Amino acid sequence: MSIVSDLRDRFGSDISSTEVKKYAREQGLSYPTVTRHIEQYKVKRGSWNLTVKEAREQFEQTVANQNLVPAQDSSFVPFGNFNRIKKVFKSEIFYPLFVTGMSGNGKTFSVEQACAQLNRELIRVNITIETDEDDLIGGFRLVDGNTVWHNGPVIDALERGAVLLLDEIDLASNKILCLQSILEGKGVFLKKIGRWVTPAKGFTVVATANTKGKGSDDGRFVGTNVLNEAFLERFPLTFEQEYPTAAIEIKILNKLCSDAEFCKRLSDWADIIRKTFYDGGIDEIISTRRLVHIVKAFDIFQDRLEAVQLCLNRFDDETKQAFLDLYSKVDDKVEISGDE
């Protein structure tokens, strides 16, 4: 009978250093000799789970069998930095990218669709102020009653050669610095289980943010933080993503709405608002994402004014009314009554 099975029969699956020492004395063995035989089952210092290896292998096999290539979206229209991002992914060179720009202008969607077109796996992590090393790198989890090491999304991306997308990176705290060596392309040492992970070919990192990691001076993006300068320096390229041109935006909306005239009116309306915003005349803006919400609402309610109005309700009353009044001037098919 092996030392492992003998220990399991006598003490169960979970054993401590006290039980290992007792077993060693009874068998006339040294403590280091016994611990060498059960090293692969170690959970933490002085603690072993004699079924953890089997459970871990089963869990990791389940993860490995997943297909993480995003589905191609027929409504996607390439614009802005899309072709540059796609070239980086196609090269399979490790080259971290930082994509910054206003909310709702297609930053994440572009990364996703670049992977979809290239048949590249994508692992997306939504960053918050609470995101820490355990969320990113991994930690111990309870699987079928066993304490098993679970790779975090960063390790999965490293081992699979996938694109790692760190979405809303400027919401992170200084705990994000656990990624320093990974952003240098050197891999990472998993100190909790004593294993070094080397990046597979094709692995790279993309971070998206509404700011450039310097915080939000105007208060538009509450919760964004000033990121460590050494961390930001590890992104060689920074892409500034703008809203699409009017022509591109109309193409995007036409893919989602059969009323071409309505799409043109929406694009004209958004263009006027954005120019006024950039000139400092107003504090709010209409994003491409907001226009997509409007055409989808129109598809449901079949009423232009209702679709626009419902999707403007997120703004304060004064801004909402100003945007509605402007839209009624752009679209002669919409009239706003006193009640509305």
Q: Which of 226, 241, 256 is the last residue of a domain?
A: 241
Per-residue pLDDT for 1 more than 60?
A: no
pLDDT band for position 8 (50/70/90)?
A: confident
**257 belongs to a structural domain:** yes
Give yes or no: residues 153 and 202 share one domain. Answer: yes
Give yes or no: residues 212 and 114 share one domain. Answer: yes
174-183 average pLDDT score: 94
H or E segment and range at residue 87: helix 82-91
Give yes or no: residues 90 and 190 share one domain. Answer: yes
Residue-range definition of the domain harbouring residue 163: 82-241
**68 belongs to a structural domain:** no
What is the pLDDT at residue 338? 57
Per-residue pLDDT for 167 more than 80?
A: yes
77-95 average pLDDT score: 96
**57 belongs to a structural domain:** no
128-158 confidence digits (pLDDT tens): 999 999 999 998 887 666 677 889 999 999 9
What is the pLDDT at residue 291? 97
By mean pLDDT, which of 42-51, 83-92, 220-229 is the weakest? 42-51
Task: Kindly compute the dihedral angle of the four CA atoms of residues 49, 55, 61, 62, in this order, to the nearest 10 degrees.
Answer: -130
CA gap 88, 202 in Å, rounded: 10
What is the pLDDT at residue 332? 92
Give yes or no: residues 279 and 169 share one domain. Answer: no
Per-residue pLDDT for 121 more than 70?
A: yes
Query: Phi then psi for 205, rounded to 5 degrees?
Result: -125, 135
Domain CATH for 128: 3.40.50.300
Give yes or no: residues 262 and 204 share one domain. Answer: no
Per-residue pLDDT for 98 more than 50?
A: yes
Per-residue pLDDT for 216 more than 80?
A: no
Q: Which of 209, 241, 273 is the last residue of a domain?
A: 241
Per-residue pLDDT for 199 more than 80?
A: yes
**73 belongs to a structural domain:** no
Per-residue pLDDT for 169 more than 50?
A: yes
Number of domains in the chain: 3
324-336 average pLDDT score: 92
Query: Phi then psi for 312, rounded to 5 degrees?
Result: -100, -5
**63 belongs to a structural domain:** no
By mean pLDDT, which of 64-73, 109-118, 285-294, 320-329 is the weakest? 64-73
CA gap 206, 226 in Å, rounded: 18
9-66 confidence digits (pLDDT tens): 788 778 888 898 888 888 888 888 888 878 777 777 888 777 655 545 554 554 556 7
Give yes or no: residues 226 and 271 share one domain. Answer: no
Give yes or no: residues 111 and 236 share one domain. Answer: yes
Q: Which of 222, 241, 260 is the last residue of a domain?
A: 241
**221 belongs to a structural domain:** yes
237-273 confidence digits (pLDDT tens): 999 999 999 999 999 999 999 999 999 999 999 999 9
Task: For residue 224, give the nearest of 212, 235, 236 by alpha carbon.
Answer: 212
**107 belongs to a structural domain:** yes
pLDDT band for position 219 (50/70/90)?
A: low
CA gap 196, 154 in Å, rounded: 13
What is the pLDDT at residue 162? 97
Q: Are 220 and 239 in contact (CB under 8 A)?
A: no
Q: What is the mean pLDDT of the chain?
A: 89
CA gap 229, 240 in Å, rounded: 18
Give yes or no: residues 95 and 232 share one domain. Answer: yes
In DSSP notation, 95-145 reads --EEEEE-TTSSHHHHHHHHHHHHT--EEEEE--TT--HHHHTEEEEEETT
What is the pLDDT at residue 60? 55
Give yes or no: residues 31 and 170 share one domain. Answer: no
Helix (H, G, I), strand (E, B), or coil: what is residue 181?
coil
Give yes or no: residues 109 and 220 share one domain. Answer: yes
C-alpha radius of gyration, the chain, whole number: 27
Give yes or no: residues 236 and 252 share one domain. Answer: no
What is the pLDDT at residue 223? 77
Give yes or no: residues 227 and 273 share one domain. Answer: no
Stated pTM of the model: 0.79
What is the pLDDT at residue 45? 81
CA gap 2, 14 in Å, rounded: 17
**72 belongs to a structural domain:** no
By mean pLDDT, which of 114-128, 200-214, 326-340 is the weakest? 326-340
Query: Phi then psi for 158, rounded to 5 degrees?
Result: -60, -50
